[in-house]
Structure 1
Amino acid sequence: MTTLPLFPLPAVLFPGGEIALRIFEPRYLDMIRDCARDGRGFGICLMLESDDGRAPASPAAIGTLARIVDFNVLEDGLLGILARGEARFRASATHVRSDGLIHADVDMLEPDPVLPVPPEFGLLATILSRYHERAGATFAQHEQSRYDESAWVGFRLAEAFPLSVSERQLLLQTADPLDRLSHLMQWLPRFQDA
């Protein structure tokens, strides 16, 4: 078990994915400084609304370890960072520091097994490949062999499809990459008419 500072967001980060963040609150500026100085990661997790709407929102139990890959100064003068998702974790307890920064005791989850995309999900790999072709240069660098990895295809489609944050969280929490592809295949008809 390890302790991670958390950056709760109304978004989901997947392993291998990237997220651009605008940092302005002092507690997160301090967190980013400490992570950059020590070469440590931080946790990104979906902020869940309370059932009754009165209690404060809380972070989802399953999140993703993120590492800073780039810094920049945004047009408004604020700090911008680019973070890359590495591995999923499960938080067992959270602690709020005096500055409001949430820390969590986490267990890192096993990486998804490397499984080929089964023929019944081949359409998903084809859709992702075509999406990346249309998206241009940033996606052109992916090796063709990645399109035959179930976990990678599932995570990249979870980023690309217009899903709700709760659907993205469900896909992040899904431990079996073939189950993740099955969810995406079931939802596919929704996007074909869009």
Structure 2
Amino acid sequence: MPTESLALFPLHTVLLPGAALGLRVFEARYLDLVRDCGRNGRGFGICLILKGEEVGEPATAAAFGTEALIEDFGQGDDGLLTLRVRGARRFHVERARVRDNGLQMADVRWCDLDGHQSVHPEHGLLPVLLDSIIGKLGGEHAQAERALLDDAAWVGWRLAELLPLHDSQRQELLQMDDPHARLERLLQLV
């Protein structure tokens, strides 16, 4: 499978497929990135920072990340550009390089998309837990179709998003290709 070039936006957080994330953008390299994404109708990659900071020198980022698609943008009270992005496809960085402006570009290989697979009986507690969490928190997932509570991938991603996990645990789950293995790991974590 060929690789595709993708601009990276390393953060001290893990974006999961289907999850929303708010960003404030102020560095020139990321303002350029957003402009390019708008012009080309593309997303960008978000990877967890393993070493370094979000601003300044390019950080060392995890090799697995998630494509971020811009859903909305605006201007914050402080005058900075604000974005609302949603996680889409997972990817693996094959090779990364840094442009003159400090923007990281990567040759990525897209991970296989999660197909619908029913939750296995041994993971039956997890949809119940997720339903309870969503019932208490409300929010956008409260509007989801009830049938999604039997979709192993959806249940796994929503629990990984909503449970109080460390970023290293979310990153571990992001790197798993099998939705049932992801549910098994979540069962161990709860």
Instruction: Provide the TM-score with structure 1 as the length reference.
Output: 0.91
Query: 1:20-39: per-residue Cα shift (whole Å, max 9, x none)?
Result: 10101010011001101210
Q: What residue number does 2:13 align with?
A: 11
Which amino acid counterpart does residue 148 of structure 2 have in structure 1?
R
**Percent identical across equivalent pairs?**
49
- Give how far 1:86 is off: 0.8
Cα distance per residue 1:164-188 (max 9 Å; x no partner): 1111000000111111001110111
1:168 aligns with 2:170: yes
Q: 1:100, 1:138 → 2: CA distance?
A: 35
Do the aligned partners of 1:133 and 1:139 also contact (CA within 8 Å) in 2? Answer: no
Match of 1:123 among 119, 122, 125: 125
Match of 1:104 in 2: 106
Question: How many residues were matched structurally?
Answer: 184
Q: What is the 5 A alignment of 1:29-68?
A: 29-49=31-51, 57-68=59-70
Shift in CA distance, 2/72, structure 1 to aligned 2, threshold 3 Å: same
Q: Give the Cα separation in 2 of the matches to 1:57 and 1:42.
A: 16
Q: Structure 1 stretches (4+) deviating beyond 6 angstroms?
A: none
How far off its partner does 1:49 sit?
2.1
Aligned twin of 2:95 = 93
Which stretch of the first structure deviates more once superposed, 169-178 or 132-141? 132-141
TM-score by length of 2: 0.93
Q: How far is the alpha carbon of 1:111 from its aligned partner?
A: 0.8
How far apart in 2 are the matches of 1:187 and 1:126?
16
Structure 2 unmatched runs, 5+ = 53-57
Q: Following TM superposition, by how much is the alpha carbon of 1:113 offset from its aligned partner in structure 2, in angstroms?
A: 3.1
Alpha-carbon distance between aligned partners in 2 of 1:67 and 1:176, rounded to the nearest angstrom: 23
Unaligned segments of structure 1, at least 5 residues: 51-55, 189-194
Residue equivalent to 1:81: 83
Aligned to 1:192: none
